[in-house]
Structure 1
């Protein structure tokens, strides 16, 4: 019997997959053979025909307005390019007119043959959010959530979808530290934590998706919104929901973009003359012989000896002024009530900054290409059973020079202009004693190339059964997903051979060779290979009885993951939620999860219960508010709950491991040794997951005819059982200590998002400012015993910087002799002076204190736009305040190592002549033990305001696009990262370590619809 049942189930699944595949094939066939669609539809013969034209208030025709008979299924028709429709109806029928962006209207049919309609723009927000596993009505929602739609995401040009969130959602901040094509990962921070990314209900680690495939992005911020994630809910969630097919005629959209990108900022390095001048000065300051004579300096200045006195601008030699960017997207959607589909294909090509050479068959630039395919298909197998098959595929190829993009970029900015000539007199690659095999030109164009290949593939299959025969409002849904990820690199490197040209005592030119010629090597490396197998089953129930409304969901899931060579793990358990409201006035919601991971924790420590509760009051629905006509809606809400945080990197640290140790001598013969083992990191037998208690209070309001909307939140989240290394430890065991669940931190803040929309005649406009704060505090950490109270970390912000407080530069020997200074260091005028915190007249670790402003981080954005007739405009300003950064290391300090680089800001160094205006200490070669201490001298104000994006577009008139058999066409020009206001000199406030520069982009495009 079981075998028969299993066979029937497998047959049903096979039929479902076959139907979904055929439906996708049919969709593509239709797309190829039918570019236009007849939207002038007629429903089966009825007693009367009614026709008409649907327009907006400015009498412009509206396309694809759905016209249906209320309460009668399968009666929907759609307006054509002129806004015209035709439908059959009986007297007494109610005609319902609806289209996105306009207020839905209902009109009774009384027998009239002609029925024209003007539809008003809907200024109110959409009526629901996409939340975990379901939708939530905004009117009755008590969770702390915020949402973006496709139109918002397409305004900012960014390869990872993360970059399109910047400055648009209160509570969510982004940070981009590099602009390398394909590797310009934008990190996310939600209320001080790194959120979990969920794509269509399943956790994912990638966000390289094109925005046209996305229906919405919802951030889930409080415990109630993320409780069902249980052990993975503490850090919040970024929920990405992709588009699905909808009932209606086939719609085809095509979008093409092409533009250029340039660095927002490049390092300002010194030319050869200034470099040599400052290098001599640094040597003199260190009491060492000078490296360059006056004749050398003259040759660097006048450029008369490019071989022995080169002056090479490596950025000009290697980098292009601008690079091309292009992206193309096509999507097809439509279907009938029983079968709906959405299919999308996207191609992106972004080239890097490095110049190319015709001498190479294969490119050596840092290029990136991406292909993304998505197909979401829904099929009704019967009146009560619906299936959906979602396919996602992504192919990425990245190209790099043979030495790698990072290594080449470091060479470009850290090789002095006078290090060596690009080419010697005989055409060979130049070199010098200090720079033997890192000729930048050779690294860029003659070191071979690397090709990176990344493949993602995901299949989601869901079956939903309507169980209304058992009880109305009940359903069951089963979901399965498979995701594979492969990242490989093929390295085809060539040995780099360079030569140092010199002259012997007889005046003969000689060449000293560095490196050995050889054949190109070819290696294939698998960087990582991940697999995900996900299963989920859920029961849902919706019921209204009188003024009582109930929604409930119960879910069980198992998420199996393997990452690289690590052993796999399962996150499994049950979760649920129930939302109740009385007359959409008094709101209550509870949610919970009981889940965990057994493979990473000792027995009994891997599972937990995570409950949350929320309450809300729609004050505007009270009788005493009815006379307040200016208030459209006003809702108060609050929530509290317990969540968990599981880190997959807790890799069996509850077990004790032993490592290979050093050899041991036996007897008097020290040459006789045997191998041994030594104890590894001490095991934590009580290891468990981290936890959080989270409180949220919020207000949602809409006033003045829904023209002004407001969302405000206050949160207070306490994270405990955080994994930290013991502070009070001892080395007597000879083994390092592992992490223990003992840390406690608090994050709190406020968030505010406003939107004002209005129109004056045909001029529509909106302004939407937002800001959010994050204040953190260490409630407990196991610190070592501190000698002074000012060095205690507990009670200070999380990640508080400690160092010395600088009080300027020493100006004289007399000042040095009378001041506190580090012991055993030769301090001279021009060195940094530090504050003696404990008054012992010695600068040492006891004088380190908290440095920086220590204020709550403030992130803000201003989104604004307008439209008039066919023109539209939008802009986004994004900024950060109370942001302290350190400028240090070989990307800022001069002459690191033997002959490190120097920069324009090093010209402002201290000398006796510049003592009153100097902003940089005296120069030294190599490490300066006093000046390079971690101190407030290198602390800078990293606040900035960036024009993140601006776009101007034009929609062609319907009368014109109609002639081309299109339903719409739009031209646009978009700029991203066009300018930045910051107090930092010659540095980008996000990429201040001189990594591959962030790009500013100018793109033109066209979008057409059929």
Structure 2
């Protein structure tokens, strides 16, 4: 119940905060703001949207430009129209007033700012490839990580969910494609320009998220930018308004796909059949089979369904967020406090000593403070942190779920007749005892991050010049604690007694320890110069970077460099950006640690040229392109691999007449003094267009990347007798196209918007060192970068299957298969591709594995969605799809253990003589199974899918009701995540995105339903 007190405390804080704010002033009078909106020439403007700031009340001007809207005297009205700067006015001052709006260029308005590294540009002036989204466009979902909310929303960003356990519903991110076959391909994650992970932030902390994809934006980061950047901008205060918000959500998470274990009778029957396939006698006689069916003796002949007994149908999830923001011309602030609680799916996990159900709780807080000290000095101070508590049973979730999924239904009774825990010599894990008698672990992670950003204008020296200093101090630590315990299980021995396995130990506190302490510091200092001279604009930035990461037990990680960027614009139509970064990394030998990373991009607003003035449907067209060099120093090799090192320990040797053992020293793999970073040469060309009075927006990019100096095996002769560090001799590339389409239209009171994006990328390995004598059809050269996921690894070579052997005659006439001692009817038949000389030799062995283009990374991924708004109602839906992806089901169909006979729910569809024509899978076997568990295309399936990833339905109360309740706006909504899936593996009860979720030892994939309320004061 401890979490309930925490929730109540959080709510109490929020309501006290809101009450305090409301108590500061008496209710303001209701007024009717009215007037006429005109342009600078006095011409009435039609279609101007007038809304109450931080509210949903909105009216639109007609042909005469007139407006009238009821509001409160202290409220601020916002005037918006495409092609014009935003205008603001106090409601109390707008009575039969004329409001003048100033025309602006397309994509150069007040809301067209784009965040680039340590700078802001109008979208019109950006000639690089950047995609961005505001969090106001994202649904409010109670998820433990933010990554999955972005799935399908941004072109070029591929997000694949990898887990769903509380606190660990992580995902991998990939920008555009893979051009390295080494392990690290994750993009650089930045928060307000600092390398920090954003997945554990609350959505309400974030203002916008941008994806930087080409060399013109990435070269700024030198050796760390080759994989792309996800750039997060946090919210800040406003000098024109004070805002207090409260969001509260509650919901449930339900398992989508979950293994259905065999009942005792089916299991025993299949077990006998599997033994018969091996020529063995049945283990279960007819008496046992009858007892399993009629359930007359549940202690001697148990029939458990551990999944049903210990997995809930739903688990609760909650999220509460309070924010306060505001300020004046001297100080602006934004403050957030949030609480998140995600419970696990385990039943019977609570006892008087502890609750062993997996659980995740998180507190987030943030304060962003902007201070205008004087006309020359501005200081921003940000402080934020998190407290995360991840709890789980001592045995571990993987062990517990493996016990539930793969322990046979007849293995043992949960309780024996004498009230002891059931178990056997083969099956010693009793799930109820694991939850209540095995202990509990709590991982408490505390993080604190602070940033100070100082800007000093040097206009007295040179107009437009400023000095900037930026410093961060981040600390994080893990405190592990909990309880230790041990239990025994008993097996009925048939003689009226029980055999004990294991030894009981009383509950004790586990060894508590502080670990995983990390301190990160980052400094950026330099100058900015921003100046407009007639039709010319200049923006120049130079920054020196110094970064440090320190943790006990390892040497510090250090990084430094100097980044420079020059932006030039002419006539607000022609733009050029030049970036040059000098970057250093300690991962390489002295004298070989530094390099230059240049890039250039250019943009042309073609639609402003006279020759396109007659194209009435075309409002805006920009052509842009970039080319440059970026690096990646996170190579897959040991640290400081440019030096030779020795290690002590390991085997011991006897010396002298007494033959006493002495510790040895051994040399690590031989060093490579010429190690260097991966070099990514990126090129991108594309266009941005707006059509039909800016109702339609379209962006298209063609991109190409060639990456050299990839780490690959050293192919020196083996006579050296020592392993070697890898060498920079690899090369790979990718190329593709991406597009984004947006549509927005008001049809009376109905507002309709649509978003869609598509990315296609094809990779190729150009150079890689392979073992001498590698056969052409086993070489990776010319194939894509990828592989089929097998747990945490990837497989690229597969046997080619040719159905299933139906008779001994087929076996005798086929090539000899050497992956099993005996091949029988019902086994998978493989093709004879080649032998030691690369030609078929009548034998199926390792020479018959062939290289393939099958990959877990799709060739294409896309997303699309829509938002409809009408009379206070709104509905949003977002889909995610992938194409050209392959998954394997070998691990799924053959999950289990030798003790359980590798029998599971899929075994009922295994081959037998009677089901030879309809069987889905090869025969069952208790042993000698090697032939049917090989990596082959028999077990490969299409991993393509289309998911309704997110959906939200909301209703905003009318303005009159809001005023009665003394709030600016109140919105109620219901939302869902991971709602529907359409795939080519509908015949299997799996999630194609996470095929093993709910099987083996993996937590099931979850569908989330939530209801919430959002209040603005």
If the length of structure 2 is used for normalisation, what is the TM-score? Answer: 0.89
State the Cα deviation string for residues 978-1001 of structure 1 (Å, max 9, x = none). Answer: 121123311111222231122111
Write the distance in 2 (CA, Å) between the matches of 1:526 and 1:857.
44
Q: Which moved more, 1:441-450 or 1:612-621?
A: 441-450
Is 1:225 equivalent to 2:211 in the alignment? no
For 1:177, which of 162, 167, 175 is the aligned residue?
162
For 1:463, which of 454, 457, 461 is the aligned residue?
454
Write the distance in 2 (CA, Å) between the matches of 1:401 and 1:119.
63
Is 1:857 equivalent to 2:859 in the alignment? yes
Other structure's SS at 1:317 match = helix
1:570/1:597 contact within 8 Å kept: yes
Q: Which moved more, 1:215-224 or 1:97-106?
A: 97-106
For 1:988, which of 988, 991, 1009 is the aligned residue?
991
1:296-445 to structure 2, matched below 5 A, reads 296-357=288-349, 359-436=351-428, 438-445=429-436
Judged with a 3 Å threshold, the aligned counterparts in structure 2 of structure 1 residues 194 and 954 are, in CA distance, closer, same or farther, namely same
The CA deviation at 1:785 is: 2.5
Residue in 1 aligned with 2:735?
Answer: 748
1:156/1:163 contact within 8 Å kept: no
Residue in 2 aligned with 1:719?
Answer: 707
Judged with a 3 Å threshold, the aligned counterparts in structure 2 of structure 1 residues 866 and 684 are, in CA distance, closer, same or farther, namely same
Is 1:759 equivalent to 2:774 in the alignment? no
Judged with a 3 Å threshold, the aligned counterparts in structure 2 of structure 1 residues 806 and 358 are, in CA distance, closer, same or farther, namely closer
For 1:997, which of 1004, 1007, 1010 is the aligned residue?
1004
Write the distance in 1 (CA, Å) between the matches of 2:80 and 2:474.
36
Is 1:114 equivalent to 2:96 in the alignment? yes
Residue in 1 aligned with 2:783?
Answer: 796
Residue in 1 aligned with 2:805?
Answer: 810
For 2:52, which of 62, 69, 73 is the aligned residue?
62
2:733/2:766 contact within 8 Å kept: yes
Write the distance in 2 (CA, Å) between the matches of 1:281 and 1:102.
76
Write the distance in 2 (CA, Å) between the matches of 1:197 and 1:895.
38
Write the distance in 2 (CA, Å) between the matches of 1:527 and 1:409.
27
Residue in 1 aligned with 2:876?
Answer: 874
1:895/1:924 contact within 8 Å kept: no
Residue in 1 aligned with 2:610?
Answer: 623
Write the distance in 1 (CA, Å) between the matches of 2:679 and 2:761.
19
State the Cα deviation string for residues 109-148 of structure 1 (Å, max 9, x = none). Answer: 9x99622779999997941211111112111211111001
State the Cα deviation string for residues 831-880 of structure 1 (Å, max 9, x = none). Answer: 01001112211001111112455696111111111000100000011111
State the Cα deviation string for residues 689-726 of structure 1 (Å, max 9, x = none). Answer: 22111111111111011111011111111111112222
Residue in 2 aligned with 1:17?
Answer: none
Q: What is the root-mean-square deviation in Å for CA atoms of aligned residues?
A: 3.1
The CA deviation at 1:336 is: 0.5
Judged with a 3 Å threshold, the aligned counterparts in structure 2 of structure 1 residues 320 and 102 are, in CA distance, closer, same or farther, namely farther
The CA deviation at 1:472 is: 1.8
Write the distance in 1 (CA, Å) between the matches of 2:980 and 2:393.
30
Residue in 1 aligned with 2:180?
Answer: none
2:439/2:507 contact within 8 Å kept: no
Residue in 2 aligned with 1:148?
Answer: 133
Write the distance in 2 (CA, Å) between the matches of 1:898 and 1:363.
30
The CA deviation at 1:39 is: 11
Other structure's SS at 1:249 match = coil
Other structure's SS at 2:601 match = strand
Is 1:960 equivalent to 2:950 in the alignment? no
For 2:565, which of 577, 584, 603 is the aligned residue?
577
The CA deviation at 1:898 is: 2.7
If the length of structure 1 is used for normalisation, what is the TM-score? Answer: 0.89
For 1:686, which of 661, 674, 688 is the aligned residue?
674
Write the distance in 1 (CA, Å) between the matches of 2:247 and 2:83.
24
Residue in 1 aligned with 2:65?
Answer: none
State the Cα deviation string for residues 596-621 of structure 1 (Å, max 9, x = none). Answer: 123x2211122111000111111111
1:698/1:712 contact within 8 Å kept: yes
Other structure's SS at 1:799 match = coil
Other structure's SS at 1:949 match = strand
Q: Which moved more, 1:412-421 or 1:699-708?
A: 412-421
State the Cα deviation string for residues 303-326 of structure 1 (Å, max 9, x = none). Answer: 222112111111112111101111
Judged with a 3 Å threshold, the aligned counterparts in structure 2 of structure 1 residues 283 and 120 are, in CA distance, closer, same or farther, namely farther
Other structure's SS at 2:241 match = strand
Other structure's SS at 1:283 match = helix
State the Cα deviation string for residues 449-506 of structure 1 (Å, max 9, x = none). Answer: 11110111011011111222222211111111100011232141211211112321xx
Other structure's SS at 2:546 match = strand
For 1:82, which of 60, 71, 81 is the aligned residue?
71
Residue in 2 aligned with 1:73?
Answer: none
Judged with a 3 Å threshold, the aligned counterparts in structure 2 of structure 1 residues 525 and 982 are, in CA distance, closer, same or farther, namely farther
1:285-296 to structure 2, matched below 5 A, reads 285-296=277-288
Residue in 2 aligned with 1:187?
Answer: 172
Residue in 1 aligned with 2:148?
Answer: 163
Write the distance in 1 (CA, Å) between the matches of 2:81 and 2:486.
60
Other structure's SS at 1:297 match = helix
Other structure's SS at 2:719 match = coil
2:541/2:566 contact within 8 Å kept: yes
1:970/1:1007 contact within 8 Å kept: yes
1:874/1:950 contact within 8 Å kept: yes
2:139/2:952 contact within 8 Å kept: no
Write the distance in 2 (CA, Å) between the matches of 1:687 and 1:39.
70
State the Cα deviation string for residues 90-124 of structure 1 (Å, max 9, x = none). Answer: xxxxxx95469996466999x99622779999997
Judged with a 3 Å threshold, the aligned counterparts in structure 2 of structure 1 residues 601 and 86 are, in CA distance, closer, same or farther, namely closer
Other structure's SS at 1:325 match = strand
Judged with a 3 Å threshold, the aligned counterparts in structure 2 of structure 1 residues 745 and 83 are, in CA distance, closer, same or farther, namely farther
Q: Which moved more, 1:118-127 or 1:32-41?
A: 118-127
Write the distance in 1 (CA, Å) between the matches of 2:423 and 2:32.
85
Residue in 1 aligned with 2:244?
Answer: 252
Write the distance in 2 (CA, Å) between the matches of 1:324 and 1:108.
45
Other structure's SS at 1:281 match = helix
State the Cα deviation string for residues 742-789 of structure 1 (Å, max 9, x = none). Answer: 211112211111011112110111111111122111110011134532
Residue in 2 aligned with 1:8?
Answer: none
The CA deviation at 1:35 is: 2.4
Write the distance in 2 (CA, Å) between the matches of 1:64 and 1:894.
54
The CA deviation at 1:661 is: 4.4
Residue in 2 aligned with 1:517?
Answer: 505
Is 1:201 equivalent to 2:193 in the alignment? yes
2:385/2:448 contact within 8 Å kept: yes
For 1:605, which of 586, 592, 597 is the aligned residue?
592
Write the distance in 1 (CA, Å) between the matches of 2:88 and 2:262.
75
Other structure's SS at 1:35 match = helix
Judged with a 3 Å threshold, the aligned counterparts in structure 2 of structure 1 residues 118 and 815 are, in CA distance, closer, same or farther, namely farther
Write the distance in 2 (CA, Å) between the matches of 1:612 and 1:60.
43
Write the distance in 2 (CA, Å) between the matches of 1:1004 and 1:308.
47
Write the distance in 1 (CA, Å) between the matches of 2:667 and 2:218.
40
Judged with a 3 Å threshold, the aligned counterparts in structure 2 of structure 1 residues 765 and 120 are, in CA distance, closer, same or farther, namely farther
Write the distance in 2 (CA, Å) between the matches of 1:863 and 1:724.
42
Judged with a 3 Å threshold, the aligned counterparts in structure 2 of structure 1 residues 121 and 634 are, in CA distance, closer, same or farther, namely closer
Write the distance in 1 (CA, Å) between the matches of 2:103 and 2:758.
28
Judged with a 3 Å threshold, the aligned counterparts in structure 2 of structure 1 residues 243 and 338 are, in CA distance, closer, same or farther, namely same
The CA deviation at 1:527 is: 4.3
Q: Which moved more, 1:322-331 or 1:306-315?
A: 306-315
The CA deviation at 1:732 is: 2.9
Other structure's SS at 2:52 match = coil
2:670/2:722 contact within 8 Å kept: yes
Other structure's SS at 2:405 match = helix
Write the distance in 2 (CA, Å) between the matches of 1:845 and 1:64.
66
